Every structure is written in structure tokens, then in C-alpha cells.
């Protein structure tokens, strides 16, 4: 950390800061410039707790933090990226994860058709929510335990791992036997009790970016899961709240590269929730793959016009298939390994 002093700071004020740093176990080193004095502080700044204690000292202009406040999820030496194994699926590293399925499990038939479309398109993981976090309390809230049974059937049918949203720590026990990846939704990104409860199961955790979360807040939330001893964390960019109403959210594709520079965790993109619009899913999927994301998650529905949740953004099975073929080609071109099941399905991946 560096403490920048005000240009008019006196020697007594500079001394006051060096003493305060020393009292907190840090080693100060004063550099006097023509305009102002800066004081470097070396040591365990995290042990201090709240660094803003230094900003209220007399003569201090600002504090500049050098090391990232997150440790376990921070990028590793040589930028080695982590790979997470979820059943037969590999996520991160040079792999490419394709997650698809219904936004919500609505009926056995709808889930079966949506999951069949996902599997045919080469999904490595199926999605299908049974508990929904809706903006309105009157909107469809998911089928709960009955939905979990339907999801378990689809998981067994295709032999693919499944991801589903968990809303509350009390749901973890009921879900743990079916779900392979616990998804923490945008509205729960900083629900640290929920993050801890999921991460203690040892299963993978997908952490969506909060509606208005900065990348640092997102990575610090991931650090909560990591600090419970589970590094099987997948980050998911799903758009953020901005002033622009043309899309449901503003999909922040630059976040993918920023996160990959700052963290070793895989980062995937959800263009369905990121845009809220079926016509934007294909272009944003391809843009995200070209931008180097570690995977994509897409909503598919056999009858979007009848969907109880998020119909306008769901692709039809045929649309998913067409997009997936282009997506896998692009992923291969980007140097990603394509699962054998996709390569053998005859897509031209040359």
C-alpha cells in the first residue's frame, strides 16, 4: 500500500503516518518528491483490517492499494489457469464449457425437450432451475422438490452433470444429491452464508456477477467460497445494471479479460440473461467466445411463447443447434479443446 500525503503536509504529519503504520506492524518507507511525499507500507496489510484508518490521519491525501485484496482466487504465477472437473466435464484451462437447458424446469416434457436439444448441441453441462429468484413475488418461483426429480431424470438420461440455482442454505441438503454445480444467482452474489454453505459441500460453485457488482466485489465474493476450502469456483458474467434500457442488462464482455488477468478461475458468459433477447444471444455468444471466455450458458425452450420464465431470451432447439455448431468451430479456432462427443458429431471443426 502507498500513502500519498497532501502537498502541504508537514514533517510532523509525515511522522504521524509512519508511526501509525509501524503500530499496525507495517514497515514504512518515505519518498519525498518535488510535489508531495509518498509513504510505502510493506507487510501484511490484510492484518490491519480496515485500511481507511490511515486515510483519516492528518495530512493524508489518499491510499493506493498495490496487492489484490483477494488471495486464493488471485492469478497465479505464470498465469496458470485452473481447470475444474465436474463429472465428465472439464471447465477452465484450455477446455470450453457449454451449458444449456431450460431457464426453469416447468414440466417433465418441457425439461426433456430442452435438455435433449442441449445435449444434441454438445452441451457439456445441463441447466434447469427448480428454485427461481424472481423480481416479482407473484412470478413463477420454480417447482421445488418436484422439479429436482425431473432434473435428476434428465441428468441420468444424458449422463451429463447439472447446474441449478440455490437460493438459501436450507435448500443445499435437498439439492446436493442431484446438483453437480450450485449456482449462486446475481441477486445472491454477496450472500456469504449461502456461498459458504455451498462451498462446504465440496461441489463446484458457479458465482454469477451481481447486478451492480464491481469486478473486485465479485472476486471478493469468490474469495469467501475459496476461503471455505473449495476452489471449484466458476465465475459467470451475466450483464450489469447500467443506464441503457435497450437490453435487459449490459453484458460486460470486457469483464472476461479483466477477470482472466486478475484471477485463475474460469469465467463463462450467460448471453441469455445478459441480453434478455433471443436475437442477441447468437452475436453475444460468438463475441464472448472470440473474447476468450471459458464457456457459455444458454437458455433453450421448446415453446418460448409458453415459458413460465424468461421466454423472450430462450432459443428454440433448432436455433441452439445452429448457434452451437458455429460456437464450437470458433472455440476450436480459439485453441480450445472440443469434447470428443462434439467432434464426433460431425461438426466441421477444421
Instruction: Name the residues that contact ligand PEP, by CB under 6 A.
Output: 103, 129, 133, 185-186, 208, 238, 273
Q: Which is nearer to Mn ion, 133 or 262 (CB)?
A: 133
Integer Cα distance of 283 and 281 in angstroms: 6
Contact 208, 270 (CB under 8 A): yes
Contact 313, 286 (CB under 8 A): no
Integer Cα distance of 79 and 62 in angstroms: 30
With CB under 5 A as the contact rule, which of the stretches 7-15, 102-110, 255-263, 330-338 interacts with Mn ion?
Answer: 102-110
The binder of 186, among ligand PEP, Mn ion, none, by C-beta within 5 to 8 A per type, is ligand PEP
Integer Cα distance of 180 and 171 in angstroms: 14
CB of 239 to ligand PEP, least distance (A): 8
The binder of 120, among Mn ion, ligand PEP, none, by C-beta within 5 to 8 A per type, is none
Q: Helices in 159-251 by DSSP H: which ranges?
A: 172-175, 192-199, 215-226
The binder of 208, among ligand PEP, Mn ion, none, by C-beta within 5 to 8 A per type, is ligand PEP
* Residue numbers 192-211 binding Mn ion by CB under 5 A: none
CA angle 93, 68, 96 (to 5 degrees): 15
* Residue numbers 294-323 binding Mn ion by CB under 5 A: 310
CB of 189 to ligand PEP, least distance (A): 8
Give the 3-state secondary structure of residue 111. helix
CB count, 10 Å around CB of 159?
9
CB of 297 to Mn ion, least distance (A): 10
Task: Identify the helix (H) or strand (E) that includes residue 137.
Answer: none
Q: Which is nearer to ligand PEP, 20 or 296 (CB)?
A: 296
CB of 159 to ligand PEP, least distance (A): 23
Q: Which is nearer to ligand PEP, 54 or 98 (CB)?
A: 98
Q: What's the length of the chain?
A: 350
Among 39, 103, 117, 327, which residue sits at the site for Mn ion (rule: CB under 5 A)? 103
Partners of residue 207 on adjacent β-strands:
184, 235
CB of 110 to Mn ion, least distance (A): 14
Which positions touch Mn ion (CB under 5 A)?
103, 310
Amino acid at each position: 500500500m502507498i500513502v500519498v500525503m497532501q502537498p502541504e503536509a508537514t514533517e510532523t504529519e509525515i511522522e504521524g503516518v509512519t508511526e501509525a503504520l509501524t503500530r499496525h506492524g507495517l514497515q514504512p518507507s518515505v519518498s519525498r518528491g518535488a510535489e508531495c511525499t509518498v509513504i510505502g507500507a510493506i507487510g501484511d496489510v490484510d492484518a490491519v483490517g480496515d485500511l481507511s484508518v490511515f486515510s483519516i490521519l492528518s495530512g493524508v491525501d489518499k491510499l493506493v492499494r498495490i496487492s489484490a485484496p483477494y488471495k486464493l482466487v488471485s492469478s497465479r504465477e505464470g498465469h496458470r489457469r485452473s481447470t475444474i472437473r465436474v463429472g465428465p466435464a472439464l471447465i477452465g484451462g484450455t477446455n470450453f464449457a457449454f451449458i444449456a437447458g431450460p431457464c426453469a424446469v416447468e414440466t417433465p416434457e418441457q425439461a426433456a425437450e430442452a435438455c435433449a436439444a442441449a445435449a444434441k448441441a454438445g452441451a457439456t453441462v445441463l441447466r434447469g432451475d427448480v428454485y427461481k429468484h424472481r423480481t416479482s413475488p407473484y412470478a413463477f418461483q420454480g417447482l421445488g422438490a418436484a422439479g429436482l426429480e425431473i432434473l435428476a431424470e434428465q441428468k441420468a438420461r444424458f449422463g451429463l452433470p447439472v447446474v441449478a440455482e440455490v437460493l438459501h442454505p436450507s435448500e443445499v441438503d435437498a439439492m446436493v444429491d442431484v446438483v453437480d454445480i450450485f449456482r449462486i444467482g446475481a441477486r445472491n452474489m454477496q450472500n456469504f452464508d449461502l456461498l459458504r454453505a455451498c462451498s462446504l459441500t465440496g461441489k463446484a460453485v458457479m458465482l454469477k456477477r451481481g447486478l451492480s457488482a464491481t469486478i473486485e466485489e465479485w472476486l471478493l465474493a469468490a474469495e469467501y467460497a475459496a476461503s471455505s476450502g473449495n476452489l471449484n469456483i466458476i465465475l459467470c458474467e451475466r450483464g450489469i445494471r447500467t443506464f441503457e434500457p435497450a437490453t435487459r442488462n449490459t453484458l460486460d464482455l470486457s469483464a472476461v479479460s479483466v477477470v482472466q488477468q486478475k484471477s485463475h478461475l474460469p469465467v463463462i458468459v450467460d448471453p441469455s440473461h445478459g441480453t434478455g433477447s433471443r436475437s442477441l444471444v447468437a452475436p453475444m455468444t460468438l463475441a464472448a467466445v472470440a473474447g476468450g471466455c471459458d464457456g457459455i450458458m444458454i437458455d433453450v425452450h421448446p415453446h418460448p411463447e409458453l415459458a413460465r420464465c424468461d421466454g423472450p431470451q430462450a432459443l428454440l432447439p433448432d436455433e441452439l443447434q445452429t448457434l452451437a455448431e458455429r460456437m464450437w468451430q470458433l472455440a476450436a479456432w480459439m485453441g480450445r479443446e472440443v469434447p470428443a462427443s462434439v467432434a464426433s458429431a460431425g461438426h466441421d471443426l477444421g
